[in-house]
Every structure is written in structure tokens, then in C-alpha cells.
Amino acid sequence: MTGGDGGRTAAAVAARRHNTQAALARVRDVLARMRREKTPVTVAAVSRRAAVSRTFLYSNPEARALLADATADTRARKAQDLTGHDAGQEATWRERALNAEDALKAAQAEIIQQRERIGELLGQVRDLEAEWTQEAIQRIATENTTLKQRVRQLTADNRILDERLKAARSNMRFQDRRVADLEAQLLDPPEK
């Protein structure tokens, strides 16, 4: 190994150490923020927020220790919260259960009302279907076919008349030019 290679190796090791320390600083900041926000500490959340890989959190001893301390603090805080809030939670659960019962009763009443409305509408549909006999349906289908044929015929006639109109306009333009030429000849006779 030459002296230049040793310098590059030392620089690479120093850069790696610097990157590791920067990543550890980000992990510390994220864990402090999560404690303040009382957010549950998970490897995925810390990895995402600190912009480090999960492998870094598992393989780096200092990062692993920081993560273990933070999760232990989170567990202890949860245990304190559970013992202090049992009575309050029971009251809120009771209130939630009563609210859920009221919501369930309202939903059941709405469902019954909707079913009745659906029944009424289905009856109206059946009444409308009963008014149409097979003969009436056949007659309407025949009239519809006849009208479609008439529309096709009128469209074809319209196209023919449009072509004739264009031809007549072209003839008129030609005739107008011819008349203009003849008028010019009458006003200015050729000299002999």
C-alpha cells in the first residue's frame, strides 16, 4: 500500500464515522421529539423520522441502546397511565357503550325506514310494468323501427338535396361570371 491509499482509507473511515455520528444525532433528536409528543416508539417510526435504515438501528450498539431506553420509557409511561386512568377509562367506556347503543337504535330505525321506501318503489315499478301489455310493447317496438327507417331516409334525402344545392350555387357563380363577361363585352365592343 502506498501513502496515497492510506490517506484515502483514513478519509473514508473518518467520513464513515462522521456519517454514523450524524445518524446517531438524528436518532437522539427523533427520540426526544417522540417523548415530548408522547408518540409510541417503534423501530419503523424512528427509522422513518430519523432517515436511517432499520439495519442501522439494529446493528449499531449505541443506536440499539438509545432505542431500548426509549421503548422502556414508553412502556413505563403506559403502565403509569393505565393505573392512574382505570376509573376514568371505565366511565368513558360506559359512555361510549351508551352512545353506541343510541347510534345502533338510530341505524336500525333508518334501515327499517329505507326498507319500507324500497318496498313502495318496487310496488310502483310493478304497477308501471303491469300497464304495458305484450301487444303495446310490440307496437312501440315496431313504431320505433319505422321511425328509425324514416330518419335514415330523411337523412339520405337531405344529403342529396344538399349536394344539389351546392351544384346549383356553383352553376349560379359560373352564370354570374358569364353574365359579367357579356356585359363587359357589350359596354366595350371590340374595334375593327
Decide if 62 is inside a domain. Answer: yes
Longest dimension (CA), the chain: 131
Decide if 53 is inside a domain. Answer: yes
**What radius of gyration, in Å, describes the C-alpha atoms of the chain?**
45
Decide if 152 is inside a domain. Answer: no
190 three-state secondary structure: coil
Decide if 87 is inside a domain. Answer: yes
Decide if 99 is inside a domain. Answer: no
CA–CA dist 148, 135 (Å, integer):
20
Decide if 70 is inside a domain. Answer: yes
Per-residue pLDDT tens over the stretch 84-122: 556 566 667 878 888 888 899 999 999 999 999 999 998
Q: Which residues of the chain have pLDDT under 70?
A: 1-4, 79-91, 190, 192
Q: Which three cell numbers stand for residue 113?
A: 325506514
DSSP conformation class of 39: P
Decide if 116 is inside a domain. Answer: no
User: Residue 83: is it exposed, middle or buried by C-beta count within 10 angstroms (0-12/13-18/19+)?
Assistant: exposed
Number of domains in the chain: 1
Helix or strand run (H / E) with residue 191: none
Decide if 60 is inside a domain. Answer: yes
Q: Which pLDDT belongs to residue 37?
A: 86
- Its pTM stands at 0.40
Number of helices and strands (H, E) in the chain? 5, 0
Q: Which pLDDT belongs to residue 62?
A: 93
8 is in which domain, residue-wise? Answer: 3-92
CA–CA dist 14, 7 (Å, integer):
10
Nearby residues of 58 by Cβ (< 8 Å), 6 or more positions away: 43, 64
